[in-house]
Amino acid sequence: MDRWQGKVAVVTGASCGIGEAISRDLHREGMIVVALARRKNRLEDIRNSIPSEERSRFYIKCCDVQDEEQVKAAFAFVESELGGVDVLVNNAGIVKSTELLKPDNTEDIKSTLNTNVLGVVFCTREAFRSMKERGGDGHVVLINSTAGHITPNIPSLPSLNIYPATKHAVTSMTEVYRQEFIRHGTKIRITSISPGVVDTEIFPEHLIDMIRANMPMLSAKDVSSSVIYAISAPPHVQVHEIILKPNGEKF
């Protein structure tokens, strides 16, 4: 991580779970972190939990990645206050409790697509421009899912509806970004990290105890460690895809 000391990392969906773990670990490794999320109060709690002498390297910004204008404003803030971004971790993601066949489910389906797919597009587009201006080096990490490679059938859980489709899109986008980064003459790297079931708030509260009792799960820290591994690779090495599964997972 020596090459990233004092560099700027932007993490989306940073108010809890995987995003919080990644934000804390990147900050602990010496990076300047800009934590983006919708819930400003949760971001403030995280920042206040950091020792006061180290808070100057931890910035927070309220941002819903579904909203293109909010994304542009967040990256404009990073540009004006910190000179740009070196690492982007696209972590923000949601899953809604619905079915593809459920009547009047449009808003649930659209919000999942907008967060999980368009949010990645908006943030990566803005980060790429900044990285290119800063010399064409940098790293984009997409927090994907094993559901982006297979469509799991878990009878004990409700329908995953549009969620696997959004993550399959992220898998495809990873390769498209790799090709486009090269086409634009940069050395920016791209990594997709696909965990299995992770113990986070992405699951509805009424399901989480049942999942914990019946399924092995990863921790947010496990996923964060993979981010550190990927961006720590030498500049000539691109860790394109990491798949993590909890030991004992049956699907």
pTM for this one?
0.95
Spell out the per-residue pLDDT of the chain, length 251, in tens.
Answer: 899 999 999 999 999 999 999 999 999 999 999 999 999 999 999 999 999 999 999 999 999 999 999 999 999 999 999 999 999 999 999 999 899 999 999 999 999 999 999 999 999 999 999 999 999 899 999 999 999 999 988 777 788 999 999 999 999 999 999 999 999 999 999 999 999 999 887 766 666 777 777 789 999 999 999 999 999 999 999 999 999 999 988 77
Active site residue 163: yes
The structure tokens listed for 78 are 């990073």
3-state secondary structure of 157: coil
Domain residue spans of the chain? 2-244
User: 84's torsion region: left (phi>0), alpha (psi -120 to 50) or beta?
Assistant: left
Strand stretches in the chain, DSSP E: 8-11, 32-37, 58-62, 87-90, 139-143, 189-195, 241-244
> What architecture is the 2-244 domain classified under in CATH?
3-Layer(aba) Sandwich (3.40)
What residue type is assigned to position 126 of the chain? E
Residue-wise burial string across 99-137, b where 16 or more C-beta atoms lie within 10 A, e elsewhere: eeeeeeeeebbeebbbbbbbbbbbbbebbbebbbebeee
Q: pLDDT value at position 152?
A: 85
3-state secondary structure of 34: strand
